Amino acid sequence: MQEEQGRSKLRRGLLKAAIGGGVTAGLGAFSGVLRAQSFEFKPNQRYPDPSVQILDPSFARYRIYSSTLEQVATGMRWAEGPVYFPGRSGEPGHVLVSDIPNNRIMKFDEKDGSFSVFRRNANYANGNTRDRQGRLVTCEHSVVRRVTRTEDNGRITVLADSFEGKRLNAPNDVVVKSDDSIWFTDPLFGINGEWEGSRARPEQATTNVYRLGADGKLAAMITDIMNPNGLAFSPDEKKLYVVEWRGTPNRSIWAYDVGADGASLANKTKLIDAADFGALDGFKVDRDGNLWCGWGSNGALNAEPSDLGGKKVFTLRGKPEDLDGVMVFNPQGKAIAHIRLPERCANLCFGGPKNNRLYMASCHSLYALYVEAHGAV
């Protein structure tokens, strides 16, 4: 009994130290920041890591035999929109990741493993990216409902907050093309309820994908898909890929040919269909054109309830523990790998000094894995 009390006291002491900003094994310090919901993670001890499942032999070249999945930070409520900022002269950099319900952007520093608040009152920031000058571009998807740029001096510039005299819906994800045009999706998630912002009535008749030209002109490029979500260009920028969150019958990734002018789209084609109760969200493209996609349960319920403990319960179709993670598809839309995570992955980015460290924003945590692939941008 006394031994058990001693172990309990030790556990409480360790937890108190962790919340107070101490460094836990394999986790960045929280710099005194209150953590929302933190979860233990036990990395795999043996190589190769069984979390990396090869679905097609073509993926074997991207797996590093002696690289295992790491949880580098935890304590968020819904992690989204990670973006990597490299250090100077090839030194380690840092990752910014949105913690939407907590209305803040967090920062994971590769140099010392610390995890701290980068920006409070972030207007429920969702997707983030870097522009070609290395500045932060952010989708603030509720309340103000705008796309902003953080200048080198910290000043925030509003890039877009309305279209044809009406407020944007809820800017979600964003990418910057080599011609400095900014492309972003504008679904309804940030104004659908009170969890990720404030409920509001949409003013736009459709949920669009926009292009903001270097000249400041905003144009609706795609208006016919329901709640567009993640988006990315192929390495040569001849294709634009867009997730349709409310696809029929499943969530999908649509591919569009980008015109020679860089400002027109044609030939809408379904590239990926999230069948078997999977859900697409944010994604990134590597230099070889593969799509690394946040993946998890789509939350769909079975048509009939099951008997659980004497109660009739409508259970999920498909098991989240079998779906959560990152699915990798080749440029032809074939699944070639599944990186399994203990939490659903909403979005991801490539980073690290060599651009070969995959950072995965997953519910409460930020995970990382070194791979033999490099981000296209």
Tell me the CATH number at 105.
2.120.10.30
Q: What is the pLDDT of residue 34?
A: 58
Confidence of residue 15 (pLDDT cuts 50, 70, 90): very low
Are 283 and 241 in contact by the 8 Å Cβ rule? The answer is: yes
202 falls within a domain: yes
Confidence of residue 21 (pLDDT cuts 50, 70, 90): very low
312 falls within a domain: yes
Statement: residue 191 has pLDDT above 70: yes
- Mind spelling out the 3-state secondary structure of the chain? CHHHHHHHHHHHHHHHHHHCCCCCCCCCCCCCCCCCCCCCCCCCCCCCCCCEEECCHHHHHHCCCCCCCEEEEECCCCEEEEEEECCHHHCCCEEEEEECCCCEEEEEECCCCCEEEEEECCCCEEEEEECCCCCEEEEECCCCCEEEEECCCCCEEEEECEECCEECCCCCCEEECCCCCEEEEECCHHHCCCCCCCCCCCCCCCCEEEEECCCCCEEEEECCCCCEEEEEECCCCCEEEEEECCCCCCCEEEEEEECCCCCCEEEEEEEEECCCCEEEEEEEEECCCCEEEEEEECCCECCCCEEECCEEECCECCCHHHHCEEEEECCCCCEEEEEECCCCCCEEEEECCCCCEEEEEECCEEEEEECCCCECC
What is the residue type of 292?
W
307 falls within a domain: yes
Q: What is the pLDDT of residue 246?
A: 79
Statement: residue 25 has pLDDT above 90: no
Structural domain for 299, as ranges: 26-370
Statement: residue 345 has pLDDT above 80: yes
Q: What is the pLDDT of residue 276?
A: 81
Question: What tens digit of pLDDT does each residue of 149-176 get?
Answer: 999 999 999 999 999 999 999 999 999 9
Q: What is the pLDDT of residue 359?
A: 99
- Indicate the range of 104-118, 299-313, 335-349 predicted with least confidence: 299-313
154 falls within a domain: yes
118 falls within a domain: yes
16 falls within a domain: no
Statement: residue 20 has pLDDT above 60: no
Statement: residue 55 has pLDDT above 80: yes
Give which of 101, 32, 97 is closest to 71, Cα–Cα.
97
Statement: residue 1 has pLDDT above 70: no
Rounded to the nearest integer, the mean pLDDT of the chain is 91
376 falls within a domain: no
pTM of this structure: 0.91
Q: What's the total number of domains in the chain?
A: 1
